[in-house]
Amino acid sequence: MRVPFIKMHGLGNDFVVLDARAQELPDLGQALVRNLADRFTGIGCDQLILLQPSETADFRMRIYNHDGGEVGACGNATRAVALLHGSEARIETAGGALLASPTDDGASVDMGPPHFDWDAIPLAYPMDTLSMPVGWEMLENPGAVNVGNPHVVLFVDDTDAVPLDRIGPEIENDPLFPERVNVNVATIVSPSHIRLRVWERGAGLTRACGTGACATAVIAMRRRLVDREVTVTLPGGDLQIGWSEGENIRMTGPASESFRGSFEWDDYA
Ligand SMILES: N[C@@H](CCC[C@H](N)C(=O)O)C(=O)O
């Protein structure tokens, strides 16, 4: 079976999008996702995105990490598929329903509410998630939040000085996080500006992470380090994040289509 795909990205965080709204597809196994995501022998991407019909929303978006695991949220992919859809869309995800509106160069997304309870992140045992009494080497006193997926956020003086390729996997797989975790290191540049690098669960270092930007912004806001509207600068570019206590998170930023192609299903299954 020949299957069409669309290669897209949000700030360099890249996706292979399979649109199963029109053409039904067999179940994606972990092996198929890994093979397609492989940058040497496959199409290559950080996440594989599967669009399906939905009974509760305009469509359903399923998200698979580079390692083949299915997860609850992807901020950059949400902007990308909103752009693809072309008009305001309610999107069903495993992490909750999202509302996305395309803009000239990307999309603005209602990302839903953040969850701060220790068992909602989830953590292995109870603790204050705004100021956690734990640390790894030079990284201490993180905050944690679930924004459809789990994140830990560590504030540092200089994000570039953190060996995230070495320490990221250690934190991602720490038994404190039973579902593993996305690891964010952030520097407060000013009350309206955060600099951020992310080690993504199941994908490693990426050029940008939309949910990481949301998670970092809300923790910085709760700690009163920044204003309620901030620019988050990632290696791939800028996102605008807005949030107030008790409200949903709003994320705005670019996304684009790179190219279209097709592949033979059995070659990757
Ligand atoms: N790149 C994404 C996040 C993708 C999922 C994440 N790695 C997880 O495992 O939860 C984004 O832009 O948010």
Closest approach atom of ligand 1 to CA 77: 12
Query: Known binding site: residues?
Result: 13, 47, 65, 75-76, 149, 182, 200-201, 210-211
pLDDT, position 104: 92
Closest approach atom of ligand 1 to CA 150: 10
pLDDT, position 23: 83
Q: Is the shortest distance between the CB of 48 and ligand 1 below 6 Å? A: no
Evaluate if residue 226 carries a pLDDT over 90.
yes
Q: Give the model confidence (pLDDT) of 176-202 as tens digits.
A: 999 999 999 999 999 999 999 999 999
Give the C-alpha separation, 75 to 56, whole Å.
20
Give the model's confidence band at 170: pLDDT under 50 very low, under 70 low, under 90 confident, else very high: very high
Q: Give the model confidence (pLDDT) of 60-88 as tens digits.
A: 999 999 999 999 999 999 999 999 999 99
The residue among 212, 73, 229 whose CA lies nearest residue 145 is: 212
Residue 8: phi and psi, rounded to 5, are -135, 165
Whether the pTM exceeds 0.80: the reply is yes
Q: Give the model confidence (pLDDT) of 38-49 as tens digits.
A: 999 999 999 999
Tell me the pLDDT of the chain averaged across its residues. 97
Evaluate if residue 57 carries a pLDDT over 90.
yes
Q: Which of 74, 194, 220, 221 is flagged as catalytic?
A: 74
Evaluate if residue 22 carries a pLDDT over 90.
no
For ligand 1, the distance from its centroid to the CA atom of residue 67, given in whole angstroms, is 12
Q: Give the model confidence (pLDDT) of 227-266 as tens digits.
A: 999 999 999 999 999 999 999 999 999 999 999 999 999 9
214 is catalytic: no
Q: Which of 33, 36, 209, 230 is flagged as catalytic?
A: 209
Ordered domains of the chain (ranges, CATH): 2-103+256-268 (3.10.310.10), 135-247 (3.10.310.10)
Q: Is the shortest distance between the CB of 62 and ligand 1 below 6 Å? A: no
ipTM of the complex: 0.99
Give the C-alpha separation, 236 to 155, whole Å.
20
- The share of the chain scoring above pLDDT 70, in percent, equals 100
How many angstroms from the chain centroid is the CA of residue 18?
18
Asked if 47 and 10 count as a contact pair (C-beta separation under 8 A), the reply is: no
74 is catalytic: yes
For ligand 1, the distance from its centroid to the CA atom of residue 48, given in whole angstroms, is 11
Q: Give the model confidence (pLDDT) of 134-159 as tens digits.
A: 999 999 999 999 999 999 999 999 99
Could you tell me the CA-to-CA distances from 241 to 37, 133, 193 in Å, in that order? 29, 27, 10
Test site for ligand 1: of 209, 214, 232, most ligand atoms within 8 A of the Cβ: 209
For ligand 1, the distance from its centroid to the CA atom of residue 24, given in whole angstroms, is 25
Q: Is the shortest distance between the CB of 80 and ligand 1 below 6 Å? A: no
Evaluate if residue 115 carries a pLDDT over 90.
yes
Asked if 162 and 184 count as a contact pair (C-beta separation under 8 A), the reply is: no
Give the C-alpha separation, 32 to 223, whole Å.
42
Closest approach atom of ligand 1 to CA 149: 10
List all residues 6 or more positions away from 85 whose beta carbon is below 8 Å from its beta carbon. Answer: 58, 59, 100, 102
Q: Is the shortest distance between the CB of 78 and ligand 1 below 6 Å? A: no
User: Residue with the nearest Cα to atom 1 of ligand 1?
Assistant: 209
Give the C-alpha separation, 209 to 266, whole Å.
31
How many angstroms from the chain centroid is the CA of residue 258?
19
Burial string for 96-118 (b: 16+ CB within 10 Å, else e) reads bebbbebeeebbbbbbbbbbbee
